[in-house]
Structure 1
């Protein structure tokens, strides 16, 4: 029997977990991993880089440090097209890859919802580069106040109040006192506003937990505007609607964290998708293509309990990667494949380095315990997509403050 070729696109949580599981198998496979960078980054921690509380090196590691190069061929390139019928992937370098099995784990991009000015005047947190740009801009703008005396330089607006937004606000409010000393600006004049279109904040948590988390941030000086959809981003201002009236908040630092969507390659390759996500079959394959798996941020897996797709989280991505590796080996050996099942273990959001809120195995946690649980989750992820060496080098063990 000829060796079967498995091509994995993307080295995020889902893609890298798939490769790590496949390379452990005693299967006659040619495994090819394609990623645009030569490193993996913990996308759930981008807010730390953007706020400047952690360097980008803390949440990154070299892909070749965790794959077995005797079993896996790594190609650093960008995917431009997937042809399911010809079973060919085209890369930016014009190189083409033929496959027997394809695992699409291409990750996410920022969702602008068609709002004017987002791409031109705001700073998204979608990868290491954008997070670094956001950090440098914020620091430069705050430092500029001493010269400009322009209050907009001390005004920060965070667009959206989802997970990333809340975690970013936690980090930046933690760092602000030290930043004010370093850059010589008046901390008491800094304005931080979070604008959210939905009528409630942190709906993924109970009202009690959500209120606790928001109150922590309010005590640190964050102002929340709820039920106020953003209509436009202008240079130095955010336009929003409140009670049917258009209003503006002036700010020279505008952070865009309203949401994400799957890679545009999905739609451009002709997949039936919504916001870059494909509704997959019970074995995570694409309808009519049993050799094409769609996982991570580009997949939509139905949660029978809620009747809606599961949120795209690192937790489900890791489970998908593990499952797909097993499924491919089973298919190669002409064995049956059980449906993918997922039971969320819980959700934890950090609010800076010393507080958090969450629901873990049905139990609510908050404050310091929430912070500890969040760090444990980060460490578990590092172990799953990295290895023990990466955990010891980049893990979070600062449990005591």
Structure 2
């Protein structure tokens, strides 16, 4: 398996120590990384990328595209002003053009004023955006005060396979290996419980913490 990454390092959203752990773990299992490279074309039996001004080809049988999240094309066609295919919303999750239209999740782009970058398109961000929008719709209907979206980031965990993972929990605690794997399964089960109740969690949940 060969992974092409445009950034200088893999997993740029993670702490460098965690990203290095992930890279070493995956390389030990035969994954090869090409960083600082931009994909130029993807064809039936090869991909072409550019690195350091040089064009290179990799013969392929299977190609997996994993280049991030983009909103449905209908968003750009809707007439709203978009940024990177998403609607750049105000702090109360409304569009700048309309005071009765709310946008959340992968269709919304909301800036983190502290970092100057958009909040990442993760499930916990989307859920909290929806909760803020719901409260603001209620306030709009009943004449109450609108609130500004302020995410409560509980951490991020990324799986590296069935028995390995990395993550940050409680804002700054870094976890690796089986501890991160256990936390990832807890998070997945909690999401299923919140999404579809006990029946969905029991049907789709991950209860073997060692595999």
TM category, shorter? over 0.9
Quote the residue 1:113 is aligned against. none
Task: Report whether the alignment pairs 1:378 with 2:188.
Answer: yes
* Superposed CA offset, 1:312-360 (max 9, x none): 1101111112222222222211111221211311111000111100111
* Superposed CA offset, 1:267-297 (max 9, x none): 1111100222111112100113121100000
Secondary structure in 2 aligned to 1:318? helix
Task: Report whether the alignment pairs 1:307 with 2:116.
Answer: yes
Quote the residue 2:89 is aligned against. 280
Task: Report whether the alignment pairs 1:291 with 2:100.
Answer: yes
Bigger fraction of residues in helix: 1
Give me the whole-angstrom Cα distance separating, in 2, the residues matched to 1:249 and 1:387: 45
Quote the residue 1:333 is aligned against. 142
Higher Cα radius of gyration: 1
* Superposed CA offset, 1:108-132 (max 9, x none): xxxxxxxxxxxxxxxxxxxxxxxxx
1:224-303 matches, within 5 Å, as 224-303=33-112
Aligned CA-pair RMSD: 1.2
Which of 111, 128, 134 in structure 2 is aligned with 1:319?
128
Give me the whole-angstrom Cα distance separating, in 2, the residues matched to 1:276 and 1:365: 34
Task: Report whether the alignment pairs 1:364 with 2:179.
Answer: no
Q: CA deviation at 1:385?
A: 2.0
The higher relative CO (CA closer than 8 Å, separation ≥ 6) is in 1
1:179-218 matches, within 5 Å, as 192-218=1-27
Segments of 5+ residues of structure 2 without an aligned counterpart are: none
Give me the whole-angstrom Cα distance separating, in 2, the residues matched to 1:242 and 1:325: 46
Quote the residue 2:198 is aligned against. 388
Quote the residue 1:398 is aligned against. 208
Bigger fraction of residues in strand: 1
Segments of 5+ residues of structure 1 without an aligned counterpart are: 1-191
Secondary structure in 1 aligned to 2:79? coil
Give me the whole-angstrom Cα distance separating, in 2, the residues matched to 1:303 and 1:242: 31
Which of 6, 10, 30 in structure 2 is aligned with 1:221?
30
